[in-house]
Structure 1
Amino acid sequence: MRPGGGAWQPGSYLRFAGERARPFAELLARVDAEAPQTVVDLGCGEGSLTASLAQRWPGARVTGVDSSPEMLAAAAASSDRVTFELGDVRDWAPTDPVDVVVSNAVLHWVPGHAELMSRWARALPHGGWLAVQVPGNFRAPSHALLTELCRAPTWADRLADAAPSPDTVLNPAEYAELLSDDGLTADVWETTYLHLLTGPDPVLAWVRSTVLRPVLARLDEDDAARFTDEYAAALRTAYPPRPDGTTVLPFRRIFAVGTRLSAG
């Protein structure tokens, strides 16, 4: 699914399944493919969103590709038109024309992903679509505080190079230019969601299954607990609970959809 240290935990990731499904739906709403024959979901995770692609396009064969055995073990084909494959999105290349290529919340794990995305764009046939969504919150407190802590003297020798970079993803204009340079008609936008989270340390719970995972994978159990305590305290200050007990997490996402116009 997403490169990085440590095994993915489907249960932890799915705690916020509703919040994470909404960007996928809004991404696909801008894909105007009428009757694609082949659809590929790169970085499909546990497969529930992949299955929705088969419902959207009843005549399509849908393939989900992911590098996490744990995630794929939780995936279940909803029909004989849906299959899942173990593989790294960085190595994927179509052997036959693919009508719709989807990559949702994956490419921020791939350094230099612009070239990979460009390769996918160039492979699209006439009438094909590429739809990508990436988190755009690497300068938000949730990530900036993690970066600061990873680079603090106590942790820097083990974690400095695991710190999230503020330049992990491109800005929307750069994605639009990338798609246009590869001959696609581009539709690019951004949205900041205001998630209302509940429970103890909810922002920590959100990031634990994503950006925090490869950081903790570098530490033994005791140091991981100490690091998590420090990070949790910083998050509580940055994201204080409201009087009703909920915590607001602003989360920016960037969407890029491109299509290669049909010949003639």
Structure 2
Amino acid sequence: MNELSTAELYLQDFHQRQPGVTSAAFGQLPALSASARYASTYALLARLVPDVDTPQSVLDLGCGDGHLLALLVAREQPQLQLIGLDMSASELAVARAILPPSVRLLHGRGQALELPSASVDYLVSHMALMLMDDIEQVVREMRRVLRSDGRFAAIVGRTFLLGEVNDVFMRVFKPIVSTELPPLRFGDRRTGSEAGWRELLDGSFADVEFDDIDVPWTPTPGELWTALLDTYDIDRLDDGARQRLRTAFLDAVAPLQGGDGKVATGWGLRLVRARAA
């Protein structure tokens, strides 16, 4: 791989310490669009790959521990060629342990895909593209490896937490992050909006579509805090700042608990789809 940026070095370290953290967070929670319900956001992406008997190739860009690829393997489509790429050797090691040898796993970056041009029918990505440096080069590589009329589909972030819990969290998080968290930019801001994605995909992709995807969850405040520990910014806080944030957040979110002691929240995501022009 080419020399990694500071953000990429952090992401590599994080996933070295916590491989599988993304699939643990999203692999078992249902996902809701305006018109459908899915077993998970991974299942949503898997469903977009046609279940047919004809040959087709699928690239999972930022495949992590192989959770999405495993869903596609389970179909037992004999002519489905599966490829996963990730820059984390630890995530790929987990993927290799659960996937059959027929799945090709590559250690690399989205900015330089070691694949032939026009060799992929479907390119999917789960919670990875919004973290990638030089997203314009990533998009160029995506288009290069996709065949003409090949399809692209990605789950990316839309908002952080759902509902009033998000406002409460941001109210206590921002004062701490402004003084306690060293600046570190992940990815390109354009990946956080529909307008930004249209700009990035313009000229190389057509039929760009978006769907808001909610991943609802009703944890206890303690369960929610445990999940937040696996997010990048909270992971980057030192122990003292993390403890101050925990205390402030649990105090602030307590009034939102229902009679069962739980809070209504979840994750706000976006599905981006397009066709290689």
| RMSD of equivalent CA atoms | 3.2
Which residue number in structure 1 is paired with residue 91 of structure 2? Answer: 71
Give the match's secondary structure for 1:246: coil
Are 1:19 and 2:29 matched, yes or no? yes
Give the match's secondary structure for 1:197: coil
Between the aligned partners of 2:63 and 2:84, the Cα distance in structure 1 is 5
Which residue number in structure 1 is paired with residue 246 of structure 2? Answer: 232
Give the match's secondary structure for 2:269: strand
**Are the counterparts in 1 of residues 19 and 94 from structure 2 also a CA contact under 8 Å?**
yes
Q: Which moved more, 1:60-69 or 1:6-15?
A: 6-15
Decide which structure has greater strand share.
Answer: 2
**Are the counterparts in 1 of residues 66 and 84 from structure 2 also a CA contact under 8 Å?**
yes
Equivalence map 1:159-170=2 (5 Å): 159-162=181-184, 167=189, 169-170=191-192
Are 1:54 and 2:51 matched, yes or no? no
Letter of the 1:149 partner, please give it. I
**Are the counterparts in 2 of residues 108 and 134 from structure 1 also a CA contact under 8 Å?**
yes
User: 1:204: how far off?
Assistant: 2.5
**Are the counterparts in 1 of residues 154 and 272 from structure 2 also a CA contact under 8 Å?**
yes
Give the match's secondary structure for 1:188: strand
**Gap change, CA 1:231 and 1:112, over 3 Å in 2:** farther
Structure 2, gaps ≥5 residues long: 1-6, 31-38
Are 1:3 and 2:8 matched, yes or no? yes
Between the aligned partners of 1:85 and 1:233, the Cα distance in structure 2 is 42
Relative to the length of structure 1, the TM-score reads 0.77
Q: Which moved more, 1:246-255 or 1:230-239?
A: 230-239
User: 1:46: how far off?
Assistant: 1.1
Equivalence map 1:76-225=2 (5 Å): 76-96=97-117, 97-138=119-160, 140-141=166-167, 142=169, 145-152=172-179, 155=180, 159-162=181-184, 167=189, 169-176=191-198, 178-198=200-220, 201-212=222-233, 215-216=236-237, 224-225=238-239
Identical pairs, percent: 21
Matched residue pairs, number? 247
Relative to the length of structure 2, the TM-score reads 0.74
Letter of the 1:259 partner, please give it. R
Are 1:43 and 2:62 matched, yes or no? yes
